[in-house]
Amino acid sequence: MPRHIATLTQSLALGLALIGSPPAHAQGPEPQKAVLVTGASTGIGRKITEVLASKGYFVYAGARKVQDLKALDAIENVQSIKLDVTVKEDIAAAVTTVEKAGRGLHGLVNNAGVAIVEPLIEVDEEDLDFQFDVNVFGPYRMTKGFSKLLIASKGRVTTIGSISGILSSPLLGPYSMSKHAVEAFTDALGAELARVDVKVSVIEPGDYRSEMGNNVARRMRERGKKIEGSLFEKELRGLLDRAGQENRNPEPDDVAEAVVHALFDPNPKVRYMVVPSQRQAGSTIRKAIQELVQLNQGHKFSYSRDSLVAMLDSALARLK
């Protein structure tokens, strides 16, 4: 075969091969990442769901009531799932639903939460059980149930805590106890799942608009709770009045954006304090410092001020 014909034949073959094999950058869009959000019907959970869906992620939105499920299904990129984090059968069914969908699961947002507002020496054990069943055992059950999917995707676990997990205010003891437990849950889980490349974060919001205050009052009515005669009657009345004015608080947009960062940034933070005011930020940081000082006070292994400052400088340097 003449040389020029052989060269032409080789060029045609190469051209056909290139036409049949698209370049690496044209292999198609990245699969839509899926996230499951608990307590998605109202407040912070609803905002997280809307923001994730608007950014193109697929959201499995957990809720309990039929009307809430229908409302969530009306949002593009959202599929509602009937889900009560205190019901094991609901969680098992949710796992099956996500598995069958075939998208995998990139992230779990443990948002479902409740609050009990009562003095610790007056609160019923049943109410305390309810507080922990939702706020502590809920994230535990959900994370355990979806752990195989999250490990397979090298995904993320993000739990909604609260600055009340650091600040322990009078009458909010049950709630603060549960959110303090979320702090320990985050640290232990993060250390354990690091070996399988699953990253764990906690979001710690301050006062944002939600339905939690109304839900507190509703549960107290349903339980026949009366504040008359309480040792803290005056304080309870004031706290419940303020809780009923939550609609004056800002929308939780910043909380939702922190969740997006925790779920998708290559280097998510372990803790995200998200507050609407300098006052709330200052109160929280001062309380954390106060605990440090109390831990260091007056024992045979106490550190000097200079040593504490050096530790702080070292911790700040590691964050960089």
Smallest CA-to-CA distance from 183 within 291, 277, 97 is with: 291
**Does residue 10 lie in a domain region?**
no
Q: What is the percent of the chain with per-residue pLDDT over 90, rounded to a whole number?
A: 76
**Does residue 12 lie in a domain region?**
no
Residue 311 gets which letter from DSSP?
Answer: H
Alpha carbons 164 and 180: distance in angstroms, whole number:
8
The pLDDT, as a whole number, for residue 125 is 95
**Does residue 22 lie in a domain region?**
no
What are the residue numbers of the active site?
A: 175
3-state DSSP call for residue 231? Answer: coil
**Does residue 209 lie in a domain region?**
yes
Q: How far apart are the first and last CA of the chain?
A: 66
Which element (helix H / strand E) includes 254?
Answer: helix 253-264
**Does residue 44 lie in a domain region?**
yes
Q: What are the backbone angles phi and psi of residue 158, rounded to the nearest 5°?
A: -125, 125
Number of domains making up the chain: 1
Q: What is the CATH number of the domain that holds 273?
A: 3.40.50.720
pLDDT, average across residues 291-305 = 97
The pLDDT, as a whole number, for residue 255 is 98
Q: What are the backbone angles phi and psi of residue 61, rounded to the nearest 5°?
A: -110, 115
Please give the residue that has the higher pLDDT: either 156 or 209: 156
Query: What tens digit of pLDDT does each residue of 25-69 get?
Result: 445 556 899 999 999 999 999 999 999 999 999 999 999 999 999
**Does residue 315 lie in a domain region?**
no
**Does residue 148 lie in a domain region?**
yes
List the domain range (segments joined by +) for residue 106: 29-295
Q: How many CA atoms lie within 13 A of 155 on its CB side?
A: 23
**Does residue 8 lie in a domain region?**
no
